[in-house]
Amino acid sequence: MESTRILAIRHGETAWNVGARVQGHLDIGLNDAGREQARRLAQALAGREPIDRLYSSDLARALDTARAVAEATGAPLAATTALRERHFGALQGRTFADVAASAPEMAEAWRRRQPDWTPPGGESLLLFRERVTQAVQALAAENMGRSIALFTHGGVLDVLYRAATGLGLQDARTWQLGNTAVNRLLWTPDSGLSLIGWADVTHLEDHALDESTA
């Protein structure tokens, strides 16, 4: 049976990642470390495996990461709002500690990952999961027999991991969602998503440096 090979990749680091601040749909760019991560990722993917098409969230932190890979590989790139992070509404720009101090009930619903809880002006986990899984299924079906790369966000990758492993929205997370980590999935029409490999960050290790990056 034909399948679609998927590389699902989180954007490079941002200043708000470092500050543990909720980004959501806010358009926060990469910091210097994030740009270096994207450069190393692009170098590794260009020399390691063929990619037919690239798809990215339209938010700058993901799109700029994808552009680095597009330039290195020559693969066509398309941006889509469907691969955006979860919309956290009024919580965007804040830290969990800030929310816990000012709105403890809201913080508790967030911490417990209540599937139907919606941040004011935002998106529930249920609606977020539906958006993400439908978008990825559509892209996978459109690219049957190809290898594609998705450049997206931590929350999106969390949804994809759960979909590929059968875990529920409230199951405890035991997997990493590192910046520019390469996560491998396979999609077939009959089985949907399955997990091939997760959290490959060998391109960020010291031995991955060449003379130009030392």
pLDDT, residue 207, reads: 54
Structural domains counted in the chain: 1
CB 125 within 8 A of CB 111: no
Active site (annotated) includes residue 205:
no
Mean pLDDT of 115-122: 97
**Alpha helices in the chain, H assignment, sequence order:** 15-18, 32-48, 60-73, 96-102, 104-111, 125-142, 154-165
pLDDT at 209 > cutoff 80: no
Contact 24/85 with Cβ under 8 angstroms? yes
Strand pairing report for 182-188 and 53-57: unpaired
The per-residue pLDDT for 49 is: 79
Domain that holds residue 125: 4-208
**DSSP notation for 3-25:** -EEEEEEEPPP-HHHHTTB--TT
Q: Is residue 214 part of a domain?
A: no
* CB-side neighbour CA atoms (13 Å) of 168: 6
Catalytic residue among 13, 25, 85, 87: 85
CA-based radius of gyration for the chain: 17
What value does the mean pLDDT of the chain take? 95
Q: What is the pLDDT of residue 214?
A: 34
> Tell me, what CATH number does 79's domain have?
3.40.50.1240
Angle at 95 between CA 93 and CA 96, to 5 degrees: 135
CB 42 within 8 A of CB 73: yes
Instruction: Give a yes or no: residue 27 inside a domain.
Output: yes
Note whether residue 65 is domain-resident.
yes
For residue 211, what pLDDT band results from cuts at 50, 70 and 90?
Answer: very low
Q: Does residue 105 have an active-site annotation?
A: no
Specify whether the CB–CB gap between 180 and 41 falls below 8 A: yes
Residue 213 lies in a domain: no
Q: Which residue has the higher pLDDT, 89 or 210?
A: 89
Given this model, what pLDDT does residue 213 score?
Answer: 36
DSSP state for residue 36 in the 8-state scheme: H
Encode pLDDT of 15-41 as tens digits. Answer: 999 999 999 999 999 999 999 999 999
